[in-house]
Structure 1
Amino acid sequence: MKIAELRTHVVAVPPPHVGGMYWIFVQLKTDCGIEGVGEIYATAFHPGAMVPLIEDVFQRYLEGHDPHTIERFWRAAYSSGFTQRPDPTMMGIVSGLEIACWDIIGKAAGRPVSDLLGGTVHEKLRAYTYLYPKNAAGDYDYGDPDLAAEEAVRMVDMGFTALKFDPAGPYTNYSGHQLSLGVMDRCEEFCSKIRAAIGSSADILFGTHGQMVPSSAIRLAKRLEKYDPMWFEEPVPPGQEAAMAEVARATSIPISTGERLTTKYEFQRILQLGAASILQMNVARVGGLLEAKKIAGMAEAFYAQIAPHLYNGPVGAAASIQLSAASPNFLIHEAIIDFGGFHAEVLKTKLQFDDGYLIPSRDPGLGVELNLDVVAAHSPYTGDRLHLQMASEPADIKEFAPARG
């Protein structure tokens, strides 16, 4: 069996762009006719730049090879151009192509990918979702703690036992920074009102995206400890593990991180320094399923757990669900509510959600197939924005300053 063909789809996500501005799907086909699908989560470059890079990696390191040779493909791409170091763009490309190989392998074997990653451990996966509150006009409004509390109740009624929110904005090109007192007051108000609304029926997950310097993160964590969050996410920017470890030592709240990290090497430093005890790798960026499984195994030796990140499309979600099903130290998986809406439309069969749990598919491979009519109707992406973007100006301390009485 040899890989013979590649097709790349850059799918525009319709407004309100839940899950990003676009998704990059790849399809591989073997010389014996088996097709596999993968997803690339790489955000630093426009997809117009990404497509030729994907084709280059495919032609150099995968075309004409047996899809089973995952280690060979990974090492060849990781070493491309005499690099051998973590590169988020290369690893995003590798991830999508590698996931498609696993889909082919599973289909050829007639088994779900989780069975080939050590066997299914979890028949259902605890899930959490961000809160997506809407105001009276029907628009998403992430700045109102009362709306967030109402949405939290609604999500608990849907079955969720954990909810995430991030009131510590903005994230800017110049983060980390020292949060203003106004922002810290707002963060505490969100936690207080959500906890009062849902009681102990669900965990609260305090999301941040590297907004803070360590001293600011510690100040905020001290305020939040009384609300007992299950985690304090990525409190400082990625790249300086010792700084995150400083925060971890100063708070009783577990630290989680990983959505912007890639390869076992970056996660090894997190574990070794005690910077986080909950790892949030994104399978479609971290280096693929086998690399994510290695990271999960490494975490297991440190008594750390995995909580895979997912803010992209449903193919990456399907792969991540298969990984989680086969990981003994799985904690919880990110969902985008129940993966309805466009996440469901772009697939032939919706990802299965049941009363707060994701149900891993038992079909061969990843258990998902693209609805190519929907893919074609939303391709190509013609916008200028990247998948996610940060504010271009430094944070303004007066923006959330309390009014003087």
Structure 2
Amino acid sequence: MKLADLDIIVTAPPPPGWGGRYWILVKVTTDTGITGWGECYAASVGPEAMRAVIEDVFARHMQGESPENIELMFRRAYSSGFTQRPDLTVMGAFSGLEIACWDIMGKARGRPVWAMLGGRMNADVRCYTYLYPLPHHDMSAFWISPEMSAESAAEAVSRGYTAIKFDPAGPYTMHGGHMPAMSDIARSAAFCAAIRDAVGDRADLLFGTHGQFTAAGAIRLGHALEPYSPLWFEEPVPPDDVPAMARVAQAVRIPIATGERLTTKAEFAPLLAQGAAEILQPALGRSGGIWETRKIAALAEAHGAQLAPHLYAGPVEWAANLHLASAIPNLLMAETIESPFHDALIKGAIRVNSGHVHLSDAPGLGIEVDEDLARAHPYHGDGLHLEMRDAPCDYANGNQFEGGAPAPKR
């Protein structure tokens, strides 16, 4: 059995677009007719440029190879161009293709992916959700309203979630780390207070930031959040500044979580070695795929750290995340997105029940992708999957970050 053909579908989730502006799905077919699905979570170039990268990685390193030879194909892609170092775009392309290989292997054997990773360690995977506006909320006002977020949190907890994430701490800008505005610190504390009051001890608070602060700024913010006992302080400084992350970890009494923008064990290992994070958040469509992330999980286990696979993408990456999560001993939880488009795209094959997912014994990833639906929503925009803004932090007029789905501009 050899990898023979590749098809790439760039699909755009309808408004409000939970999960990003577009998702890059890959369909790999063997010479025996078995099809596997993967998803590439890489967004530093546009989708058409990414399509060319995926095609090149497949043709150069994978086409004609057995889908079983994961390690060989990884080493080819990782070493490509005389590098042998992490390359976010190349490894993002490889990650989605590698996920498809596991789907193929599982289908060929009639076994789920989790069974090929050491078996089922976690019968039920604990999931968390980002806080999204409820139907009656104003889409623009929601992101700066502690009261609306508290209402959304209570609704999520009523559905069984035991962990909820939110990120009111100000803008993600191209300027890199900055000192938070006092208004952002005050708003962040107000969010924590309102949400903690709404959910009590029924759920963990997951405080999201995305690398926008200096170490000193993150420490100031972290101290303001400590009274509300968040379970984690997510990526408080730029993810490649491991010494700064370690300084924050030493100064703030909230566990540090990071990893959605990192790829391969080469980028995760220094975090563990320097005590910079206790919770790793790999996104399997970027981190190197299922096998490489299984290695990352083993490194974390040896350092007493846990994994919480990240999801701001489509349901194919979600499926891969969940299969890994089902198989590892040091799982904390896995991010999930419940939207009609996510559900329809995989025909309801995976569902959250009382804040948990139980994967079936269905072969491969256990999903069937609705190709017609995916192709019926092509991406026509010119924005990237996610973008940082050009303007710096506004210390005079305040800041507003509208999550992953900005309100429509009138």
Quickly name the TM-score band, shorter chain normalised: over 0.9
**2:122 aligned residue:** 122
**2:344 aligned residue:** 345
Q: Secondary structure at the match of 2:273?
A: helix
Say if 2:88 is the partner of 1:81: no
**1:371 aligned residue:** 370
| Contact 2:38–2:98 (8 Å) recurs in 1 | yes
| Contact 2:174–2:390 (8 Å) recurs in 1 | yes
Q: Secondary structure at the match of 2:285?
A: helix
How far is 1:136 from its partner? 4.6
How far is 1:138 from its partner? 4.8
| Contact 1:209–1:234 (8 Å) recurs in 2 | yes
- Once the two structures are superposed, residues 153-185 of structure 1 have per-residue CA deviations (whole angstroms, 9 ceiling, x without a partner) of 100001000010000011100121000111100
1:26 corresponds to which letter in structure 2?
V
| Contact 2:128–2:333 (8 Å) recurs in 1 | yes
Q: Secondary structure at the match of 2:143?
A: coil
1:375 corresponds to which letter in structure 2?
A
1:301 corresponds to which letter in structure 2?
A
How far is 1:116 from its partner? 0.4
- After superposition, residues 279-294 of structure 1 pair within 5 angstroms as 279-294=280-295
TM-score of the aligned structures, taking structure 1 as reference length: 0.96
**RMSD, aligned CA:** 1.2
Q: Distance in 1 between matches of 2:94 and 2:185?
A: 39
Q: Secondary structure at the match of 2:239?
A: coil
- Once the two structures are superposed, residues 68-88 of structure 1 have per-residue CA deviations (whole angstroms, 9 ceiling, x without a partner) of 000010000111111111111
**1:276 aligned residue:** 277
Q: Secondary structure at the match of 2:293?
A: helix
Work out the percentage of aligned pairs sharing the same amino acid. 52
Give the 3 Å change call, closer, same or farther, for CA 362–399 of structure 1 in structure 2: farther
How far is 1:395 from its partner? 1.0
How far is 1:65 from its partner? 0.6
Say if 2:32 is the partner of 1:39: no
Q: Secondary structure at the match of 1:129?
A: strand
**1:198 aligned residue:** 199
Q: Distance in 2 between matches of 1:326 and 1:62?
A: 26
Q: Secondary structure at the match of 2:152?
A: helix
Runs of at least 5 residues in structure 1 that lack an aligned partner in the other structure: none
**2:231 aligned residue:** 230
- After superposition, residues 3-402 of structure 1 pair within 5 angstroms as 3-134=3-134, 136=136, 138-139=138-139, 141-336=142-337, 339-379=338-378, 381-400=379-398
How far is 1:348 from its partner? 2.5
How far is 1:399 from its partner? 2.2
- Once the two structures are superposed, residues 52-96 of structure 1 have per-residue CA deviations (whole angstroms, 9 ceiling, x without a partner) of 111111111111110000001000011111111111111110100
Runs of at least 5 residues in structure 2 that lack an aligned partner in the other structure: 400-410
Q: Distance in 1 between matches of 2:13 and 2:207?
A: 26
1:71 corresponds to which letter in structure 2?
E
Give the 3 Å change call, closer, same or farther, for CA 156–92 of structure 1 in structure 2: same
| Contact 1:172–1:392 (8 Å) recurs in 2 | yes
Give the 3 Å change call, closer, same or farther, for CA 33–268 of structure 1 in structure 2: same
Q: Secondary structure at the match of 1:56?
A: helix
| Contact 1:168–1:211 (8 Å) recurs in 2 | no
TM-score of the aligned structures, taking structure 2 as reference length: 0.95
Q: Distance in 2 between matches of 1:322 and 1:139?
A: 33
1:382 corresponds to which letter in structure 2?
H
Question: Which stretch shows the higher mean deviation, 342-351 or 73-82?
Answer: 342-351
Question: Which stretch shows the higher mean deviation, 390-399 or 154-163?
Answer: 390-399
Q: Distance in 2 between matches of 1:353 and 1:134?
A: 18
Q: Secondary structure at the match of 1:398?
A: coil
| Contact 2:127–2:356 (8 Å) recurs in 1 | yes
Q: Distance in 2 between matches of 1:77 and 1:372?
A: 28
| Contact 1:125–1:324 (8 Å) recurs in 2 | yes
| Contact 1:135–1:147 (8 Å) recurs in 2 | no
Q: Secondary structure at the match of 1:294?
A: helix
Q: Secondary structure at the match of 1:399?
A: coil
1:184 corresponds to which letter in structure 2?
I
